[in-house]
């Protein structure tokens, strides 16, 4: 639950801040005036990206959860409790050949997320054999970890909207 909520908080606050900025800029110079009402909203949403930690840190918490789940599966951990939000990561379903409905889009997003999570997990495992500390390895891959978490959250949101 923490991994999903961390990712959703980072994703939603980032989108809200980005759209408020787009609205402010679209209003031209008036968007910068307090009278427009946009600037206070923009300031609040901008600060929202750091209330519970920087969004990058929240995304990294989500990515860490995903990587641990993949590594436990690779280690053959039979007692692993796979939640429904990550079950597709362990599925061998191929990407849809054609896209005719929203379920195909969901499956395409799932395949993308699965590929990214497994790719970064493999890269981290290969790096662990080097002389670098786990912390240094994590830092060197922090941008990719954020990308992995974003793809997972986008998949989560799309699937939740589709499944209703």
Active site residues: 52
Segments of the chain assigned E as strands: none
Distance of CA 76 to the CA centre of its chain: 25
> 3-state secondary structure string, 36-68?
HCHHHHHHHHHHHCCCCCCHHHHHHHHHHHHHH
Distance of CA 11 to the CA centre of its chain: 7
Integer Cα distance of 113 and 119 in angstroms: 10
Integer Cα distance of 138 and 129 in angstroms: 13
Encode 37-46: b = buried (16+ Cβ within 10 Å), e = exposed. ebeeebeebe
Distance of CA 49 to the CA centre of its chain: 14
């Amino acid at each position: 639950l923490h991994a999903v909520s961390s990712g959703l908080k980072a994703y939603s606050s980032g989108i809200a801040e980005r759209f408020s900025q787009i609205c402010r800029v679209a209003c031209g110079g008036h968007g910068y005036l307090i009278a427009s009402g946009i600037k206070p909203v923009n300031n609040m949403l901008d600060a929202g990206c750091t209330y519970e930690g920087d969004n990058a840190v929240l995304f990294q918490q989500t990515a860490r959860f995903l990587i641990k789940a993949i590594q436990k599966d690779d280690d053959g951990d039979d007692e692993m409790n796979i939640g429904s939000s990550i079950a597709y990561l362990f599925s061998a379903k191929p990407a849809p050949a054609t896209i005719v409905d929203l379920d195909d889009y969901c499956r395409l997003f799932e395949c993308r997320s699965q590929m990214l999570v497994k790719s970064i997990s493999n890269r981290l495992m290969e790096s662990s054999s080097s002389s670098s500390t786990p912390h240094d390895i994590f830092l060197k891959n922090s941008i990719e970890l954020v990308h992995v978490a974003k793809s997972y959250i986008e998949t989560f949101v799309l699937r939740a909207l589709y499944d209703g």
